Structure 1
Amino acid sequence: MASPRTAKLFLMDGSPSGRIKCSLDNWVGKVFLIPRTEIARSRDREELAQTGVYLLFGADAESGEELLYVGQARERKNGKGVLGRVTEHLNDENLDYFTHAIMITDSDNALGPTEISYLENAFYQQAMRAGRVRVVNSQDPSPGNVTEEKEAELNEFISSAKILIGSLGYRVFDVVDDAKVATQKENDARPRVEPLLYLNSRGASGQGRQTTEGFVVLAGAKLREDMARSVPDLARKNRKNLQIGSVAAMS
């Protein structure tokens, strides 16, 4: 069971829709959520002139599919670091979808080329594995070459960063349903796992379970070809999206 943590979200513009600086107690990292429209205003932030990793979020204009790009940037002699790299992407036609950027740095600027390569690759791989969004990187980032001691340290850094990224509403690294068992012993301190529910009726079959994010239907489910008149409009729209292939299957 995860230990309680204290997350601090500082509204830099006094608004939840503006820039947000995030931190955790006893963690050297910093996470910034910057709307695309506010990137130019953030050039005076010293932390964003450092080495770091960034995530570009947005959606496909036609299908509405959520998109993610994962990148890294080193501190430069001209004083531009992770923010400078994100600023360059404003003129990239392949990334014109993004509306928000999340930038991850550390307070003592101790991240080097090897560390950010490992972080970039780890965030990329975890987003791909979770399958919640389409990752638009043209190639897999290199993981670099780190010692096992440094790997353990960086994995702790990643875990803390993911807490803050998730707190901002971006749960792109969390598998939709990662429960392996549906039973729980008495006095077990682990979070309760909801039981699997099954359906097999009138040509439809499948299984799923209730989660903290709603009811999850597992991959492999089969829909009825015809829909009842009582089916809600949202369900009809989702069926249409499935038919045109704009909804990704998740397991």
Structure 2
Amino acid sequence: MDVLKQSGVYFLFGTDDEDRAIVYVGQAGSRKNGEGLLLRIREAHPSIEYWTEAVMFTTSNNSFGPTEISYLENRFYNMAVQVGRYVVKNGNDPNPGNITEETESELEEFIDYAKIVMGALGYKIFEPLVSPAYPPDALEDGEREEQILYFSWGTAKATGKRTSDGFVVFRGSTIRLTENPSCPQRAIKDRQVYADEIKDGILREDLLFPSPSAAAAFVSGASVNGLLSWKNRDGIALKQLEEAGD
């Protein structure tokens, strides 16, 4: 298809050896030989070991120049890193380029459109793990009781929330740094992967886990039943809350 020979930005999706969702954000310029996006992916990413799906964005008239695609690549990369749903496999932060305010405004409209398309395709790469209103310090007492769950196990003190995607542990949670012999291997791997997100035992970013038990194991360094250990402000376990909601 001729459209795949144009300039634009692209996303490669897949999973790594640790079964984590990964993404690469790249750019491709038009070339004298008439090749663009598709050839760039073939040249720069010949291995299909990880990448299983690709999404590309361009324009109907091939109007993106080097400056525009550099700006878009940088913005998409940083948005994906900030949300944290995917491990972003770019080696470096892409150069944002130097654009005028008028061009920036136009490109931001394009970014808003791309976010809608990504969501419609089922890629939540730009959707926050939880609403910005969810962290405990941003909630009123009534909201906090209903939405936030608490975990306490030894030195571990955490807050989190069950979502449609799994279970989110909120930034600011205290992580127990030692690990019991019972600590699941998946939790040990998660602790290694997210080591940079823990400073002095405090979690610096919201993290998404596949289940309440996986979240509890990550926080405590032990095998813990998350349905029983995550509780609301009144001490009612998540299991009871979910049974009451059925």
Residue identity in the other structure for 1:218: F
Once residues 89 and 100 of structure 2 are traced to their aligned partners in structure 1, the CA distance between those partners, rounded to angstroms, is 29
CA-CA distance at 1:139 after TM superposition? 2.0
CA-CA distance at 1:75 after TM superposition? 1.5
CA-CA distance at 1:156 after TM superposition? 1.4
Residue identity in the other structure for 2:32: K
More strand by share: 1
CA-CA distance at 1:69 after TM superposition? 1.5
Question: What is the root-mean-square deviation of aligned Cα atoms in Å?
Answer: 3.0
Cα deviation, 1:98-149, whole Å, max 9, x if unaligned, reads: 1111111112222222111110110111111122222222222111111112
Partner residue of 1:74 out of 8, 17, 29: 29
1:47 maps to which residue? 3
The yes-or-no answer on 1:142 pairing with 2:92 is no
Shift in CA distance, 212/66, structure 1 to aligned 2, threshold 3 Å: closer
8 Å CA contact 1:182–1:195 kept in 2: the answer is no
Matches within 5 A, 1:118-137: 118-137=71-90
Partner residue of 1:182 out of 139, 143, 146: 139
Question: 1:106 is paired with a residue of what secondary structure?
Answer: coil
- Ranked by relative contact order (alpha carbons within 8 Å, sequence separation 6 or more), the top structure is 1
Query: Which stretches in structure 1 are left out of the alignment for 5+ residues?
Result: 1-44, 185-193, 229-234
Once residues 120 and 139 of structure 1 are traced to their aligned partners in structure 2, the CA distance between those partners, rounded to angstroms, is 11
1:191 maps to which residue? none
Number of equivalences: 189
- Residue identity over aligned pairs, in percent, reads 43
Once residues 163 and 104 of structure 2 are traced to their aligned partners in structure 1, the CA distance between those partners, rounded to angstroms, is 31
2:190 maps to which residue? 242
Question: 1:241 is paired with a residue of what secondary structure?
Answer: helix
Question: 1:179 is paired with a residue of what secondary structure?
Answer: coil
8 Å CA contact 1:55–1:102 kept in 2: the answer is yes
CA-CA distance at 1:64 after TM superposition? 2.0
Query: Which stretches in structure 2 are left out of the alignment for 5+ residues?
Result: 198-204, 207-246
8 Å CA contact 1:53–1:82 kept in 2: the answer is yes
Cα deviation, 1:156-210, whole Å, max 9, x if unaligned, reads: 11111112112222212233134233349xxxxxxxxx73233336654211124
2:149 maps to which residue? 197
Once residues 166 and 87 of structure 2 are traced to their aligned partners in structure 1, the CA distance between those partners, rounded to angstroms, is 21
